[in-house]
Amino acid sequence: MGALWSELGKKLAERWLSLLVLPGALYLAVVAAGTSLGHGNALDAAQLIRRVDDYARSPAVGTLGGQVILLVSVLAASAAVGLGAQGMGSLVERVVLAADWQTWVPPGRAAAARLVSVRRDRWTRAARVYLDLRVAAARSRALGTRADPAPREAAYRTMARIGQEYPQRPTWSGDRVHAVTARLERDHHLSLATVWPYLWLTLPEPTRAEVTLARGALSRAAALLGWSLLYLIPAVWWWPAALIGCVLAVVGRARVRNCADSYALLLEAAARLHSAELAAALGLGRPGEEPPDGSAPPGPLSRETAEALTLLLGGSPPPVP
């Protein structure tokens, strides 16, 4: 038991050091450098070295007690800054996924609605081009020829860069996650929001671990965007901090999109692979069951069983007095 607690404490210390202290210490170093140099001498390394030497020679830093206090202060300040960045990342994550954008305060809600409208117009134009090319390819196939797939594939990539489904949220990452719900509803009449909590409890441990890792990666990517916003503060008096913030913003945006895509893929895969097992456990059918009319879409769960599962797990409506 002691070895278990020791290993657990070691892992927690490693995560605390890597996620909070080290990024926070780098941020404090940037703040200190910016305070010492300012805009006028922003890249004067010699002046920065002299300032560090002068501080290192001060009597307070030369004593053991002063060094301990300095170390503890730096660790505490670094952790505090790291927690601030994590909180900022949570806010950024909420904005990026925009699951509840229709409940935002009026200025944010109006801006989000405008973005949704613009994205819908762009997506509709791109989707029409893609569908026209698909129809043309089907006609060519019916005539015994094969059309060049390159234009059709390029048109699909253009559409997918806007959204894989008809946009419902103001951001690509939010729509990528929402596309899972849209596809499951269209293909199986399955409400992911209703079924997911119950499905999560019955998923195999390896699947749950993969989904958890993907969700954590998405949160860490959003935290990187949070760091980019924090670097705007020292940019007020030291312009290189703005460059650092821009680099973090570009990298964070790319990571958020990649992580949102991976997370959405795992959500959809888990739902398609294991929803039939949940239905069977609740006595609603067997995996791979076909409806009498033979209209089941591809997948292990029939539409009739999926609808029954959604209705069962959604609960009964409240009584009306």
**What is the pLDDT tens value at each position of the chain, 321 positions in all?**
454 445 434 454 455 455 567 788 888 888 888 888 878 777 777 777 777 676 667 766 666 676 677 777 777 888 888 888 888 889 999 999 999 999 998 889 999 999 999 999 999 999 999 999 999 988 888 888 888 889 889 999 999 999 999 999 999 999 999 999 999 999 888 999 999 999 999 999 999 999 999 999 999 999 999 999 999 999 988 889 999 999 999 999 999 999 999 999 999 999 999 988 888 888 886 544 454 444 444 345 788 888 888 888 887 778 887
Q: CA-to-CA distance for 316 and 21, rounded, in angstroms? A: 49
Q: CA-to-CA distance for 154 and 71, rounded, in angstroms? A: 55
Residue 152 and residue 130 in contact, taking contact as beta carbons nearer than 8 Å:
yes
Label residues 10-36 b or e (16+ Cβ within 10 Å = b).
Answer: eeeeeeeeebbbebbbebbebbbbbeb
Q: CA-to-CA distance for 283 and 274, rounded, in angstroms? A: 14
Closest by Cα among 99, 237, 226, 235 to 168: 99
Label residues 80-101 b or e (16+ Cβ within 10 Å = b).
Answer: ebbebbbebbeebbebbbbeeb
Q: CA-to-CA distance for 251 and 217, rounded, in angstroms? A: 14
Task: Report long-range pairs for 149-156 (Cβ below 8 Å, ≥24 apart).
Answer: 155/126, 155/129, 155/130, 156/130
pLDDT on residue 6:
53
Q: What is the pTM of this model?
A: 0.82
DSSP state of 204: -
Residue 178 and residue 168 in contact, taking contact as beta carbons nearer than 8 Å:
yes
The one-letter amino acid at 198: Y
pLDDT on residue 298:
37
Closest by Cα among 13, 11, 179 to 99: 179
State which H helix or E strand residue 117 sits in: helix 106-142
